[in-house]
Structures are given as C-alpha cells and as structure tokens.
Amino acid sequence: MVHLAQVHRDSSVDQRLDSLSLESEEDGPYSSVYGTRFAAEQLPLTEMPEREMPREVAYRMIKDELSLDGNPILNLASFVTTYMEEEAEKLMAESLSKNFIDYEEYPQTAEIQNRCVNMIARLFNAPTDSTNDHPMGTSTVGSSEAIMLGSLALKRRWQHKRKAAGQDTSRPNIIMNSAVQVCWEKAARYFDIEERYVYCTDERYVIDPQQAVDLVDENTIGICAILGTTYTGEYEDIKAINDLLVERDLDCPIHVDAASGGFVAPFVAPSLEWDFRLEKVVSINVSGHKYGLVYPGVGWVVWRSPEYLPQDLIFNINYLGAEQASFTLNFSKGASQVIGQYYQMIRLGRRGFRAIMVNITRIADYLAEQLEKLGFQILSQGGGRGLPVVAFKLANKEEGHFDETTLAHQLRERGWIVPAYTMAPNSGSMKLMRVVVREDFSMSRCDALLADFKLALKTLSDMDEEMVKKFQRHVQTHTVHSHKANHSHPHYKGETHSLQGKSGKTHGVC
C-alpha cells in the first residue's frame, strides 16, 4: 500500500512562511539561477554593470531573452540557412577563435578558402583551361560585401580605360533591375555610381534584356543580372543580355548576382547558361549562407581574369608575419563559416547538393500547386526555372475584406513568419507573399503550413470587416514587436532617396 505522510500542525513548525523577510540576501554558492538576486532585477540596458555576474546566470538570462525571438525554422521569409549537421557545428565551434585574415598563423584555414574558391569557380564554369583568362576569387562576409567588391572592380576598370583614352571619369553608371536587393543601391550610392533602372511592370518582375542594353552608354561600368530575384525567385535572362551585347559589339561587362541561385541552378538546371560560359560575364557573387547551406556570415565572389580586378585595388601587407594580398571591405573575421562551407562541399559533393536542391524544388512545386487550389495566384516560376521559392497573392482580393498582410498576421499567430510585401516600383503597388523553401522544409512541414493556411483563410473569412480591423489592431499592439524596437535613430527615419523611400517598394527579406 502507499505510505501516508503526516502533515505537521502549525504549532510544531519553527518558522511560518509569512514571517520570512523578502529583503534580498547575499547569493550563496549553491543558489540556483532563479534563486540569485539577478533573477529579480532588471538586466543592464544602457550601462555596463560595476560587478560581475556568474557565468551560468548570464547565460540563462540572455537565453531567456532570446526565447522571445521567432523560431528560425518557422521563418519562411529568409533565405538564410537554419540547419547544419552536428559535425559541421562542432568544426565551426572549434574554429571560433581563429582570425581568418591571419594567413601566417592559420595557413591551413587559408588553404581551405582556396579550395572553396576553386570548387565554386569550376561550379560556375570558370575558364580554367584558358591561356588568356586566369580566374581568382575570395570569401566575403556575405553577398553584400561581395557585391561591393564586384562593383568597385567594375568601376575601377572603367576608369582606367577612360583615363587611358583621355576621357572624363566622373559620371559612371550601372544598369540593373528595380527589383535588386538593397545592397546594390548601397554600392552605387557609397561609390558614387549612377543607378540606371530597368523597371518592373505589373506582369514582368525581372529585367528586360532589350531595355537593359539600350541603356548602355560610354559611362556604363556594367550590367547587374540576378540569378534568382528576392521578390519572386525568378532567374533573369542573362544569356539574352550577353548575346545583345555581343551582337552590338559593346564593351560592357556583366556581373551576375547569384546570391541565391548560384548553389541551385548548377544542380537543378545545369543546361541553363548564365555563368562564365557567357563571354560578357566577368564576375559572379554567391552567398554561402543561403543555398550554400552554411550558417550566416559567408559569401564568395569570383572574377574571370585579373583584367577585371584591377591591381590598384589590391593591397599587400606583411604585418601579420607573411606577405599577403588583401581585397576586402573589412579585415578581421572569423574562420568558422569558411570551414563550414568546405565541410558542406566535401560532405555532400555534387550528388548530395543535387539531391537537396531537387527535393526542395519538388516541395516548392507541390506548395505552389496546393496554394493555387486554395485560390492564390502564383507569381513565381516552378519546375526548376527559378529558385525553390513560392511567391503568390490573393487572386480575388476585391471580393474579400482582408489582404495579404492580414493573412500574414494570422499565420504568425501559429508561429509562421510568411512575409507580405509590396513589389518593386511600377508594378501597380502589387502586394504579395513569399515562402522560401530551405533544406529543412520537409514535405511534412509543408503540409503543416498548408493546414494552417486553410485555417487562417477560414478564420478571416468568418470575420466581418470590422472584426478584421480589430484583429489587425490587436496584432500590431500585442503580437508584432518590430515596430516597438529602437533599431533606427529617429534622425534617419522617413528617408526619400532610396527606391523604398521614393516608391514604397519593400526590399524582400534576405
């Protein structure tokens, strides 16, 4: 039988709970995290504290704060990798203290970068057997830095040619789609390059090759072509741009922004000509932390030949102990992500990458098919003709009383982050939603998302217009926290110089 415990009478208890003092006591050596004084105090907000905090307490307090963030696995807005194998994580953790730039101290890490550059260059069909071209490349913090370096190289090469001909070098311009990621606007603005846009329409969301080449003049440093736009995941017709430039005999190079598509197209659409097989393509960037399957913090840029990376942009240094050439926007950085990239390349190989990219392409096609059945209009390309991304909008919005933003908020109630955003300028103020299918987005997770889409649509359809408005106010007040954060200095709010400031364009989430 179960033993019965006796409950003591009040008269036999030495000290009652209500007689205990609530004043803080000195933390004992065996206090639990939540028994220390720090658990009952505000965490430091603006000034470094005077005294130390036990390491286990600091860890737990910060971990608890971070639990308020969204779940990265359910963040379908982002292209950024959210899953790596434990062995990769272990390798990267073991390299956290290595400064990648210190080639003298960490020569094997530098050698690993060289191996990655070689593998990526060959993946992009760099002319490795040519006597005229000798490709080279480097790792970067991400595609933003890679694009900055690529833009600088385009500008400097153009300047050298103009100076040699005794011509003016003060008005460089670059041609690009209005659906470019914001880093292209930054590169143009930071390096005094005029932005020339080929604007999207309400039916075309990629660059028009004819219009792009028509904009080329003597001051054009190059054309940016995107292999997988951030809005709809479509591949721009880079071969058509190349062929028009060749046909017109224009000395205008192409830089391919393959941030997202560089690790997808070679495996899903190997016959697609977009890379160094095209003679006008002189440089390509790619994000290792997107479909390169590495955690955030690594990108790559490759040039066809030294002709397209002028020598006066390269700086030789020896104060780390060995002579080395440097072309970066930042200097010190961790080695972990480069090592993580090498792990993924040798661990998976071409067959492993192909298996992952084909799987997620099939899942994206399935998701698009099911969303279309639910009444959405699909705006992205399936069947491997674009990224494994599904962009869509409500097909009969005029018949309902809620829009894509309201639907995104309803999905967020279930934990899903599915962005609703406005399309690039000149697209009729189109609003759309997007799901990025990443490596860890399995078919079962896809079905769970679809079930919540159905539930969200039914919930909103059952509401009247006034109830929908109340729901939106509730979400803004209690659920969505981004508007409450003080990320931006008030002095810089409301700018009007960018595409977003001018037109209300939303830069798609990376």
Task: Measure the CA angle with vertex 30, ends 26 and 34; round to 5°.
Answer: 75
- Note whether 223 and 255 are within 8 A (CB): yes
| Least confident span in 146-155, 254-263, 321-330, 403-412 | 321-330
CB atoms within 10 A of CB 378: 17
Choice between 97 and 506, residue whose per-residue pLDDT is larger: 97
| 473: confidence class by pLDDT, cuts 50, 70, 90 | confident
What pLDDT was estimated at residue 295? 97
Integer angstrom CA distances of residue 406 from 53, 261, 370, 473, 476: 43, 30, 20, 10, 11
Mention every residue, 6+ apart, whose C-beta is less than 8 A from residue 235: 206, 226, 227, 228, 261, 265, 269, 272, 274, 381, 385, 386, 387
CA distance 368 to 379: 9
pTM for this entry? 0.89
Q: Which of 343, 338, 334, 339 is nearest to 101 (CA)?
A: 334
Tokens 């130390």 belong to 52
Whole-number pLDDT of residue 328: 82
The full length of the chain comes to: 510
**Domain residue spans in the chain?**
90-343
In sequence order, what are the residues at sequence separation of 6 or more whose Cβ sits closer than 8 angstroms to the Cβ of residue 135?
A: 121, 126, 127, 128, 276, 302, 303, 304, 305
Q: Residue 378: name the closest of 239, 367, 387 by CA.
A: 367
Q: What is the SS3 string spanning 441-480? A: CCHHHHHHHHHHHHHHHHHHHHCCHHHHHHHHHHHHHHHC
Q: Looking at residue 132, what is its pLDDT?
A: 80
Say whether pLDDT at 509 is over 60.
no
Mean pLDDT along residues 83-96: 96
How confident is the model over 299-343, as pLDDT tens digits? 999 999 999 999 999 887 665 555 667 788 887 888 999 999 999
CA 336-337-338 angle, to 5 degrees, is 95
Instruction: Express each pLDDT in 119-145 by its tens digit.
Output: 999 999 999 987 788 999 999 999 999
| Whole-number Å distance between alpha carbons of 484 and 405 | 18
Confidence grade of residue 489 (pLDDT, cut at 50, 70, 90): low
User: Is the per-residue pLDDT at 369 higher than 70?
Assistant: yes
Structure confidence at residue 365 (pLDDT): 98
pLDDT exceeds 50 at position 483: no
Q: Which helix (H) or strand (E) holds 139?
A: strand 136-140
Other C-beta atoms closer than 10 Å to the C-beta of 2 total 4
* Statement: residue 52 has pLDDT above 70: yes
| Structure-token match 């203290």, residue found | 97
Chain centroid, CA 333 distance in Å:
19
User: Three-state SS across 63-132?
Assistant: HHHHCCCCCHHHECCCCCCCCCCHHHHHHHHHCCCCECCCCCCCHHHHHHHHHHHHHHHHHCCCCCCCCC
Average pLDDT over residues 227-233: 95
Dihedral of alpha carbons 122, 125, 126, 131, sign: positive
pLDDT of residue 48: 93
Mean pLDDT score across all residues of the chain: 88
pLDDT at 18: 58
Strand intervals (E) in 188-328: 194-198, 220-226, 254-257, 281-287, 299-303, 315-317, 324-326
How many other β-carbons are positioned within 10 Å of the β-carbon of residue 294? Answer: 28
For residues 138 and 110, what is the distance between their CA atoms, to the nearest angstrom?
A: 10
Residues forming beta bridges with residue 302, ordered by sequence position: 137, 284
3-state secondary structure of 41: coil
Alpha carbon distances (Å) from 370 to 317, 365, 367: 57, 9, 5
What's residue 209's pLDDT?
98
Question: Of 34-38, 299-303, 483-487, which range is least confident?
Answer: 483-487
User: pLDDT value at position 479?
Assistant: 55
Q: Say which CATH class 90-343 falls into.
A: alpha beta
